[in-house]
Chain A
Amino acid sequence: MLSRRDIFKYLAGGGVGVGTGLLLGEVNQRPLETLLSTHIPPEDFSPGMDTWYNTLCRMCQAGCGISVRVREGRAKKIEGNPNHPVSRGGTCALGQAGLNALYNPDRLRSPMRSDGEGGFVESSWDEALDAIAPRLGAMQSAGMGGRTWILTGGLLSSGEEALDKFREALGANVLRLGLDTPATELAAAKAMYGFSGFPHYDIAKADLVVSFGADFLGAWRSPVGYAKAYGEFRQGGDGHRGYLVQVEPRMSLTGANADEWLPARPGTEGTLALALAADLLGRRGPDAAPAGWEGLAGAPSLEEAAALADLPAGRLHALAERLAAAKTPLVLGGGAAGAGANATEALTCVASLNRILGAAGTTVRPNLAHAPRYSTLSEIEEFVAKAANGEVSLVIVAGVDPLHDLPDSLGLRGALDRAELVVALDSFPSDTASESDWILAADTFFETWDDDISLPGSGRLSVTLQQPVQKRLYDTLSVTDIVLQLAQRSGGALAEALPYEDAEAYTRSEWATAWANLGIQDDFEAGFRQVQQQGVWVADLAEGMADQFSAEATAPAAPSEAQFAGDASEYPFVLHPFQTPGLREGKGARLPWIQELPDPQTGVAYGSWVEVNPATADELDLKDGDVVEVSSQTGSVTSPVLRYPGVRPDVIAMPLGQGHQANGRYAQGRGVNPASLLAALSDGSTGALAWAATRVALRKTGERVRLTKTSGESRTLGRQILGPDDEH
């Protein structure tokens, strides 16, 4: 007989048992670390206390050092790393928004497989790697590695090195892509200074900076480093105030801050520089030129140059005088001036000014003698042609978004369509990744190991270490990890070339090898720990690593006449695509803070616009918000007009970076992408894409929208907001 007491006993016992079981089940379901962390937190974890990690910012190519504030295991805030020789504690808007990439709701959380109908299904790493590695193995053993193409950016990093080792072992091809690559700038530096790397521009030391198209305060190469120097240049405390002259068809952020903005006709920058150079040589005598110059053949007079560039000659004379009088002048060239069909010739002329002015060695200084080699237009065309012939089996897209960033006219979309297998290594469903067969979800730079040598640099060797500041949020791997895993699973030469367990082991090994090569005998672990603390390793450039000014240089030739795609009568305007400090080429578009950030000069947020000179706008009867169709020979987009007093009447300017077809909720379908309009035209010398040499036509559609703009009235109305009037 079961007594009532017994029933209670069983019930109680059963209850306790079930409870314990549930509890154990609950406990067992959780990863061990979570259970443990409630008792023994990780050593760098104390509730309510901040932990700071010095690491690398990978939001753009500049390679600044940052400090990340981490609280309770979550990154909270990015600050500049004061130890870093390039950024020196500063950050930019895009860098500050880096956390939006880490916590972005549209980040990829696991590897994704295309379902063949435009959608993606979640997958696992084993499945993904097993789908790709056997192909690699097969290609490797068949010696058909050349059928693989790797599309990547161009950094001087260990991660890029791993990709390169992988490529080499496989015998694959690589394309280093980007719209605004420094290819022409590097070529000009090579021609005029004999440099193999990117020159170090010491803006802080200059008393006069003349910049031909280089928006060094906004988006050019290393905005933070240059901005730091700019602060010194303006108000360094020693009483001198630098004078800034900006020569460009559309007033960039740098142009807006310049003392003088000279809207030269696009494509005439080189001729202008050459005329200035000839004028200076005339003033200083032929001794000012480097050995080997026979004089400047074909150099126009300042008047001729002024007429060509549609600038008043008086202005140019004043500029020449200013250059002649300056003690430490510096001339920069880049941006749109480095993106015409005659760009290298133009930038060489610009760089020649530095040699004549004696800036070479004072404000232009040697840097690391090494730079990535960016792919030329013909290499891209070769890839497209091979893909069309079915000779491309595998495309690995590593962290770049060429379908968005590069012109449609290159035909990359078709090429990727025809490739047998496209694998994208990306943290986001970017435009390119969304067209791939596999997206291997990559870490953000907050979650993994890497390093970078800043290309614009600081005149010293500075290698920034990237280290994880927090645990991975999702089931992701770093690009390096994926490459290592693929190599291991493919076996053969690939596995031998990259015998590392993970990105951390690989990065450490790279550093150890590098230090050993440099003859640094210190205890590696201690040294590396110190780098982890500092976030950066700085050393003087050793013999043979630094660029040397060549004693001789060939005198710059007169630049050929600028070529533009499109007939001037049919396409009356030159399209000037520009990067805003936030959006850049498009990486900023998926970050809500950047989308919500008004463009500095116009106050427009969220979306694209077409900048038209008010005089041109009046002529075409265009008001702010009138939607126009901008069409080139190869495409057209529609976007609202913004009357902008800082653009030439024969130029229209459009911000890059919007117009994504994918890339998450903040970017997708917002604005238009002017890169899609660009013609496949290249610089004559380097073969780099000439992205500022496309002509377009404007057509009013009749539609009208209201721009999302924070700026009301952009005139002071006589109110002394910018300071009391001087006469008072």
Chain B
Amino acid sequence: MSTIRDKLREYRTAGYYTEFEYHWTMAVDLDRCTGCEACVVACQAENNLPIVGEKRMRQGREMKWIRIERYWDDSEYPNARLNFIPMLCQHCDEAPCEIACPVFATYHNQDGLNAQVYNRCIGTRTCAVYCPYEVRFFNWFTYTWDEPLEQQLNPDVTVREKGVMEKCTFCVQRINRAKDLARDEDRRVADGEAQPACAQACPTDAIVFGDRNDTDSAVSRKLEDPRAYEVLKELNTHPSVVYLKNARAPLAGEEDDGHHGDESESHASPVMWPDESSEAVA
């Protein structure tokens, strides 16, 4: 009986691994992030993401394992403000996608990564439906590269065929390379040794990647920042990507009723501004 109970408990544990050898974690400092999208292209280059073309992009079928989301705050011109947030697979420890797959094509590995096994995937797309972050991408077609663009393809990363789900891997090929090297030298992977392409490309060092199990790592220190938060925390997914809130102070008094009263002379009419006396100073 006890074995059955143990088994049951085991099956109820997300991803089977509860303790991770390394717990790869990413911290994204939104105060540093400028939304320049260097990470987006770096990811495309590293991970053999296809060029889907304009038509398919229009159909909402772009493939960008990391993307920049943009949110205007609720004010209008001239107080409107734009916020950027990079969104990528959150490698949740309680991943909604992992319970979804009927064939175990996605699972949690020993490093706390949410792994996607392309070979095993049959394309039910349930994982993508279950993913609250919408960071899973489906190969609607077998994508090809115009010759000789295919010569750029990274030999360490599989090229996916039609009918297969794919997503950010935290550049597992780079992690594995670092782990191999460390194992050869009989040590643990040092902090900063494994860097995903996005983190390496980031010109403002907004993305910090490392092992959460190592309390001295740069990423562990970031996690203690009071600005740290998890996106969609209410869903209890326990993401491995932690964001550091933008420290930009809100513009004071954002009521802007009735600006540009006479629109025919909009460029001549003065603009209503928020109450300057309550201006917040950072």
**Chain A residues engaging chain B, CB cutoff 8 angstroms:** 71-72, 74-80, 87, 89-97, 99-100, 102-105, 217-218, 223-224, 227-228, 230-231, 234-235, 241, 243, 251, 253-254, 256-257, 259-263, 265, 307, 310-312, 314-315, 317-318, 322, 473, 572, 581-582, 592-598, 600-603, 605-607, 613-616, 618-619, 645-650, 665, 706, 708, 710-711, 714-716, 721-724
Interface centre among B83, B204, B205 (most CB of A within 10 A): B204
Contact yes or no, A708 B34, CB < 8 A: no
The A-contacting residues of B in range 62-105, CB under 8 angstroms, are 62, 64, 67-74, 76-78, 80-85
Contacts A93-B41, A103-B149, A595-B54 known; 16 new A-B pairs at CB < 8 A: A78-B45, A103-B152, A234-B247, A243-B282, A254-B34, A259-B282, A310-B270, A312-B271, A582-B37, A648-B267, A649-B77, A711-B69, A714-B71, A715-B73, A716-B71, A724-B229
**Chain A CB within 8 A of B238 CB:** no
Contact yes or no, B85 A572, CB < 8 A: no
Contact yes or no, B72 A645, CB < 8 A: yes
List residues of chain B with CB within 8 A of the CB of A94: 41
List residues of chain A with CB within 8 A of the CB of B35: 253, 256-257, 600-601
Contact yes or no, A616 B266, CB < 8 A: yes
Given contacts A93-B41, A721-B71, A721-B85, contact A257 B34 (CB under 8 A): yes
Interface bracket on B: 35 or more
Can you give 18 A-B contacts (C-beta < 8 A)? A76-B154, A87-B203, A92-B38, A95-B38, A96-B45, A103-B150, A105-B149, A224-B203, A227-B34, A230-B34, A234-B32, A253-B36, A256-B81, A256-B84, A317-B276, A645-B80, A721-B231, A722-B246
Given contacts A77-B45, A103-B149, contact A614 B71 (CB under 8 A): no
Contact yes or no, A715 B71, CB < 8 A: yes
Closest B residue by C-beta to A64: B203
**CB-contact partner of A75 in B78, B152, B249, under 8 A:** B152
**Chain A CB within 8 A of B273 CB:** yes
Smallest Cβ distance from B152 to chain A, in angstroms?
Answer: 5
Contact yes or no, A593 B51, CB < 8 A: yes
Q: Give the complex CA separation of A104 and B146 in angstroms.
A: 8
Smallest Cβ distance from B176 to chain A, in angstroms?
Answer: 14
List residues of chain A with CB within 8 A of the CB of B53: 596
Smallest Cβ distance from A586 to chain B, in angstroms?
Answer: 17
Given contacts A227-B204, A256-B84, A708-B57, contact A618 B263 (CB under 8 A): yes
Closest A residue by C-beta to B74: A715
Given contacts A310-B270, A614-B77, A722-B85, contact A105 B34 (CB under 8 A): no
Contact yes or no, A234 B31, CB < 8 A: yes
Given contacts A596-B62, A615-B260, contact A74 B70 (CB under 8 A): no
What mask results when residues 1 to 44 of chain B are scored 1 for a CB within 8 Å of chain A, else 0? 00000000000000000000000000001111011111011101
Given contacts A228-B203, A312-B273, A645-B76, contact A600 B149 (CB under 8 A): no
List residues of chain B with CB within 8 A of the CB of A87: 203
**CB-contact partner of A231 in B38, B83, B204, B232, under 8 A:** B204
Contact yes or no, B260 A218, CB < 8 A: no
Closest B residue by C-beta to A716: B71
Given contacts A77-B197, A230-B34, A616-B266, contact A104 B149 (CB under 8 A): yes
List residues of chain B with CB within 8 A of the CB of A78: 45
Given contacts A649-B267, A715-B72, contact A97 B205 (CB under 8 A): no
**Chain A CB within 8 A of B166 CB:** no
Closest A residue by C-beta to B43: A96
Smallest Cβ distance from A427 to chain B, in angstroms?
Answer: 14
Closest B residue by C-beta to A603: B70
Given contacts A593-B51, A615-B263, A723-B229, contact A646 B248 (CB under 8 A): no
Contact yes or no, A235 B31, CB < 8 A: yes
**Chain A CB within 8 A of B264 CB:** yes
Contact yes or no, A90 B203, CB < 8 A: yes
Give the top 7 A-B pairs by smallest Cβ distance, nearest first.
A650-B267, A314-B276, A90-B203, A723-B245, A231-B204, A227-B203, A645-B80
Contact yes or no, A230 B204, CB < 8 A: yes
Q: Give the complex CA separation of A581 and B80 in angstroms.
A: 21
Contact yes or no, B206 A231, CB < 8 A: yes
Q: Is the interface of B mostly helix, strand, loop or mixed?
A: loop
Q: Give the complex CA separation of A317 and B72 in angstroms.
A: 26
Smallest Cβ distance from A141 to chain B, in angstroms?
Answer: 43
Contact yes or no, B37 A581, CB < 8 A: yes
What mask results when residues 111 to 132 of chain B are scored 1 for a CB within 8 Å of chain A, else 0? 0000000000000000000000
List residues of chain B with CB within 8 A of the CB of A235: 29, 31-32, 244, 247
Contact yes or no, B37 A90, CB < 8 A: no
Q: Give the complex CA separation of A95 and B71 in angstroms.
A: 26
Closest B residue by C-beta to A218: B36
List residues of chain B with CB within 8 A of the CB of A262: 78
Smallest Cβ distance from A257 to chain B, in angstroms?
Answer: 5
Closest B residue by C-beta to A605: B57
Smallest Cβ distance from B92 to chain A, in angstroms?
Answer: 16
Closest A residue by C-beta to B51: A592
Smallest Cβ distance from B225 to chain A, in angstroms?
Answer: 9
List residues of chain A with CB within 8 A of the CB of B57: 596, 605-606, 708, 710
**Chain A CB within 8 A of B187 CB:** no
**CB-contact partner of B200 in A74, A79, A102, A594, under 8 A:** A79
List residues of chain A with CB within 8 A of the CB of B78: 261-263, 648
Contact yes or no, A596 B51, CB < 8 A: yes
Q: Give the complex CA separation of A313 and B30 in angstroms.
A: 31
Contact yes or no, B54 A708, CB < 8 A: yes
Contact yes or no, A80 B200, CB < 8 A: yes
Interface centre among A572, A592, A602 (most CB of B within 10 A): A592
List residues of chain B with CB within 8 A of the CB of A261: 78, 81
Smallest Cβ distance from A192 to chain B, in angstroms?
Answer: 28
Q: Give the complex CA separation of A102 and B85 in angstroms.
A: 31
Q: Give the complex CA separation of A97 and B45 in angstroms.
A: 8
Q: Give the complex CA separation of A104 and B36 in angstroms.
A: 23
Smallest Cβ distance from A468 to chain B, in angstroms?
Answer: 16
Contact yes or no, A314 B273, CB < 8 A: yes
Smallest Cβ distance from B192 to chain A, in angstroms?
Answer: 11
List residues of chain A with CB within 8 A of the CB of B227: 723
List residues of chain A with CB within 8 A of the CB of B147: 105
Contact yes or no, B38 A259, CB < 8 A: no
Closest A residue by C-beta to B60: A710
List residues of chain A with CB within 8 A of the CB of B46: 77
Contact yes or no, B41 A593, CB < 8 A: yes
**CB-contact partner of A310 in B38, B245, B267, B276, under 8 A:** B267
Interface centre among A318, A647, A649 (most CB of B within 10 A): A649
List residues of chain B with CB within 8 A of the CB of A230: 32, 34, 204
What mask results when residues 125 to 166 of chain B are scored 1 for a CB within 8 Å of chain A, else 0? 000000000000000000000111111111100000000000
Contact yes or no, B42 A91, CB < 8 A: yes
**Chain A CB within 8 A of B251 CB:** yes
Closest A residue by C-beta to B275: A314
**Chain A CB within 8 A of B168 CB:** no
Smallest Cβ distance from A209 to chain B, in angstroms?
Answer: 13
**Chain A CB within 8 A of B178 CB:** no
Q: Give the complex CA separation of A597 and B149 in angstroms.
A: 17
Contact yes or no, B45 A593, CB < 8 A: yes
List residues of chain A with CB within 8 A of the CB of B76: 614, 645
Contact yes or no, B155 A76, CB < 8 A: yes
List residues of chain B with CB within 8 A of the CB of A93: 36-38, 40-41
List residues of chain B with CB within 8 A of the CB of A615: 77, 260, 263, 266
**Chain A CB within 8 A of B172 CB:** no
The A-contacting residues of B in range 253-276, CB under 8 angstroms, are 260, 263-264, 266-267, 270-271, 273, 276
The A-contacting residues of B in range 184-222, CB under 8 angstroms, are 197, 200-206
List residues of chain B with CB within 8 A of the CB of A473: 148
List residues of chain A with CB within 8 A of the CB of B150: 103
Contact yes or no, A259 B248, CB < 8 A: yes
**CB-contact partner of B243 in A317, A593, A649, A723, under 8 A:** A723
Contact yes or no, A646 B36, CB < 8 A: no
List residues of chain B with CB within 8 A of the CB of A80: 200-201, 203
Closest B residue by C-beta to A77: B45
